[in-house]
Amino acid sequence: MQERYLGDVHDYIKFSLLRHLRETLNVRLGVNWYLTDPENNGDGGMRGFLERPAEWECLDKGLFDKLQPFRELTYRTLDNFERDEILPKNTLYYKCKVSSKDGRTKWHEHAVSELSEAGLIFLDQDNGFEVKRMNGRTHKYAMYPEAVEYYRRGKIVVGIQFARQCDPVKRGKQIRDNLIPCSSCTTNLPVLRGHVAPNILFLTISPVNRFKAVKEALESFAAKSPIFGTDAKAKKVVKRVEVIP
């Protein structure tokens, strides 16, 4: 995650989901930002949705209004994010930058400790889960064992995956198929797909005693999503946030 991304369309979907899960599951949130240094590549500029309230604000009007100041680049700081209570006031945050390969284990151990009082952990990694080229030059991913460590401590874990130049449905199922065996989960939770460019996917693992409630919460979030378009072949409307079973 890079601060300059704060308030873009992907963030709107992310934080709408987290606010929904917080309310429906009555759980304290913990966010590991997977913070990295900014890059000058033009990403994170998708804020046109903030000018289309009729299309977007039904997902979370309160959040839609709170994100308006983040149009300004100078406003996009984690301090402003916390002060404006984009997420509930008691949310825990881990803001240390992702360490190099050699220091990553200690970085992760510190994150687990800092977020120990949260019941739901959100991993906000830039690209997603383990990438093909993991080296000292990039830290923009989450390792599967990092997500699993939170799960083994009884946490609900939600992580993201961007789907670029691929079939998002296949990509979502592939990541889930990699994550589930690592965590020893016995049942798949649905993947949520955000129809924006690029598509953003949400992968979730949950303790058995919360599984049913988490599944219902994910599905109810998608159900209130604004309509994206229509699928003539399937004869159905397509929502901005879609459930991948």
pLDDT digits (tens, 9 = 90+) for 130-176: 865 555 445 778 999 999 999 999 999 999 999 988 999 999 999 99
163 φ, ψ to 5°?
Answer: -115, 95
The predicted structure's pLDDT at residue 102: 74
Q: For residue 211, with 0-12 CB atoms within 10 Å meaning exposed, 13-18 middle and 19 or more buried, which class applies?
A: middle
The predicted structure's pLDDT at residue 1: 87
Q: What distance in Å separates the CA atoms of residue 183 and residue 157, rounded to the nearest whole number? A: 11
User: What residue segments make up the domains of the chain, in order of their start?
Assistant: 3-244
By DSSP bridging, strand 236-239 and strand 156-163 are: unpaired
In contact, 139 and 100? CB cutoff 8 Å: yes
Which residues lie below 8 Å from residue 235, measured CB to CB, with a gap of 6+?
none
Look at residue 183 and tell me whether its pLDDT is greater than 80: no
Distances from the Cα of 106 to the Cα of 36, 97, 196, 226, angstroms: 16, 12, 35, 41
User: Residue 68 half-sphere exposure, CB side, CA atoms within 13 Å?
Assistant: 9
DSSP H helices, 91-143, are 104-114
Look at residue 180 and tell me whether its pLDDT is greater than 90: no
- According to DSSP, the residues that pair with 203 across neighbouring strands are 159
Angle (nearest 5°) at CA 183 between 218 and 1 = 65
Distance, first Cα to last Cα, the chain: 27
* pLDDT, averaged across the chain: 91
Give percent of the chain above pLDDT 90.
75
State the residue for tokens 């020893």. 184
The predicted structure's pLDDT at residue 131: 63
Nearest to 8 by CA among 45, 51, 57: 45
| Lowest mean pLDDT across 110-114, 139-143, 183-187 | 183-187
Distances from the Cα of 228 to the Cα of 15, 129, 232, 238, 239, angstroms: 19, 26, 13, 5, 5
Q: Could you report the per-residue pLDDT of 30-86, keeping only the tens digit for each?
A: 999 999 887 665 555 789 999 999 999 999 999 999 999 999 999 999 999 999 999
Model confidence at 126, in pLDDT bands (50, 70, 90)?
confident
Look at residue 184 and tell me whether its pLDDT is greater than 80: no
In contact, 123 and 34? CB cutoff 8 Å: yes
Q: What distance in Å separates the CA atoms of residue 47 and residue 71, rounded to the nearest whole number? A: 7
Q: What distance in Å separates the CA atoms of residue 181 and residue 183, rounded to the nearest whole number? A: 5
In contact, 222 and 148? CB cutoff 8 Å: no
The predicted structure's pLDDT at residue 187: 76
Look at residue 105 and tell me whether its pLDDT is greater than 80: yes
In contact, 25 and 114? CB cutoff 8 Å: no
